[in-house]
């Protein structure tokens, strides 16, 4: 599985981001892939407003669903695709879950490098324009309403 697969899985994450935007959530989407089986085992989008939960980021919801699917908290054979660079909470959760790779689209200058005992391979910039565009459009619409 290579760069073309990264784009295919990021397209699925973008669909999740669009679903979030339709629910008036910040449009961030995530999918988790079991690389051994070659299939998506979890997908989610931001639901902080809907669930009134500050931890209801797309990555957190997807990691929980993936762990349930794998019947293990260790997701060592899994890759996480997300449309926005993970925040410290989500990056930490990915490391604690032993996610193999995190692939993100748009960069987030507020994201931080965490110093943890597990290193996750990080791949950035996959479909960055599209991932950034959905976020920019969402916030442009929010500003126009105000």
Catalytic amino acids?
59
- Percent of the chain that is helix, strand, coil (3-state, to 5): 45, 20, 35
Q: Taking the CA atoms of 42, 111, 51 and 72 in sequence, report the sign of the dihedral they define.
A: positive
Using alpha carbons, select from 106, 94, 95, 116 the residue that is nearest to residue 42.
Answer: 94
Contacts of 76 (CB under 8 A, 6+ apart): 98, 99, 100
């Amino acid at each position: 599985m290579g760069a073309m697969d990264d784009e295919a899985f990021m397209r699925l994450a973008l669909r999740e981001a669009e679903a979030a935007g339709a629910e008036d959530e910040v449009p961030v989407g995530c999918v988790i892939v079991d690389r051994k089986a070659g299939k998506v085992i979890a997908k989610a989008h931001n639901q902080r407003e809907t669930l009134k939960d500050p931890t209801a980021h797309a990555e957190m919801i997807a990691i929980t669903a993936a762990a349930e699917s794998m019947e293990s908290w260790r997701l060592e054979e899994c890759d996480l695709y997300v449309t926005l660079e993970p925040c410290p909470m989500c990056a930490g959760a990915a490391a604690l879950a032993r996610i193999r790779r995190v692939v993100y689209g748009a960069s987030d200058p507020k994201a931080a490098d965490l110093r943890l005992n597990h290193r996750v391979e990080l791949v950035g910039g996959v479909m960055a324009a599209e991932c950034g565009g959905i976020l920019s459009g969402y916030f442009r619409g929010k500003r126009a309403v105000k």
